[in-house]
Amino acid sequence: MLEQAAQTGLEWWDERGPVFSTMEHGARVTRIPPGFVFRERATADIAGAVACAVFAALAVWGVSLLFVGPSTDGVVPGGLWWLALVIPAALLSGGIALGMTLTAPDRYGRAGVGGALAATGMAGGIAVGFAVTVLRVDGAMRTVLAVLAAAFLVTALVCVLCTPPALRRAKIEASRIMRLRESGDRFTGRVLAPPDSDTWKGRGPVSIRYDDGAGERTLQATVHATPSRVPTGGTQVLVFTRSPAGVAPTAEGVHIELDTSIAPRFFPRPREYESAGADGGTM
């Protein structure tokens, strides 16, 4: 028997999917939950990136003190005391970066913006930590650490440069979806068949059929979902389009999402998709 949930309504929205896309795929797919408001200013994430940088720098510096030892003037203590700094600092830096990435879809519709800022903070902090350590060593070690500091600094700069385009693309796609929801023609459609589990990598192609009043039309889309929420044949969806009846919509002119007014239907054997995606792939 197909798995069906016991309640209906907007609570069917779930970050695990299914999310249908005709434009972007993988990490670039845009998820717009009900009530979504795009955050044009990334102030909170910039603050998070700064915190990531500070803790990452402290972690690298603490590790260097464990190996290089205290400074010659005895002001900076070495030894195991710094282990108490390294572990919390590393955990805090990584935890903040992970949190920024996981919660970014709630603010921007996709994880890329938060991920780029988190990577900026991590790489920048590591670069600072290596740069400070360079001042305390000599010889070949100084050269190695200087190269590492430069490499992480370049990485941080690349991530900084990637952030504005990522924010702009996220805004464009989120605006497109919200416009279609608000002013597009809405039709009820259905998934013709579940995606092929043999090629599943956290996402897979599906066919959507709907009637626009001038006849039935079939759309091709990519569905992103966790194994337990892969839509099966007959899963009801909503199709939003700006195309006149009888005219096939373009990829930009259509948006597909799960119909939240009824209990969704998911593939009854999620293990088939778990094993298929075991070698990689993300939503």
Higher pLDDT, 220 or 279: 220
Any domain includes 282 = no
- Do 168 and 269 lie in one domain? The reply is no
Any domain includes 193 = yes
Tell me the per-residue pLDDT of 68-126, one tens digit each, with 9 for 90 and over: 655 544 444 545 666 777 889 999 999 999 999 888 888 888 878 888 899 999 999 99
Q: In which domain, by residue range, is 66 found?
A: 32-179
The pLDDT of 220-227, averaged and rounded, is 90
- Do 242 and 130 lie in one domain? The reply is no
- Do 219 and 262 lie in one domain? The reply is yes
Last residue of a domain, one of 163, 179, 195: 179
Any domain includes 226 = yes
- Do 168 and 194 lie in one domain? The reply is no
- Do 240 and 223 lie in one domain? The reply is yes
Any domain includes 209 = yes
- Do 21 and 37 lie in one domain? The reply is no
Any domain includes 174 = yes
- Is residue 151 predicted with pLDDT exceeding 60? yes
Q: Give the pLDDT band (50/70/90) at residue 207.
A: very high
Phi-psi region of 203 (alpha: psi -120 to 50; beta: other; left: phi over 0): beta
Closest CA to 220 of 186, 242, 191, 179: 191
Give the model's pLDDT for residue 79: 53
| Domain count across the chain | 2
The radius of gyration computed from the CA coordinates of the chain, to the nearest angstrom, equals 24
Closest CA to 119 of 146, 144, 153, 89: 153
Distances from the Cα of 185 to the Cαs of 27, 238, 242, in angstroms?
Answer: 28, 10, 6
Tell me, yes or no, if the pTM score tops 0.75. no
Any domain includes 156 = yes
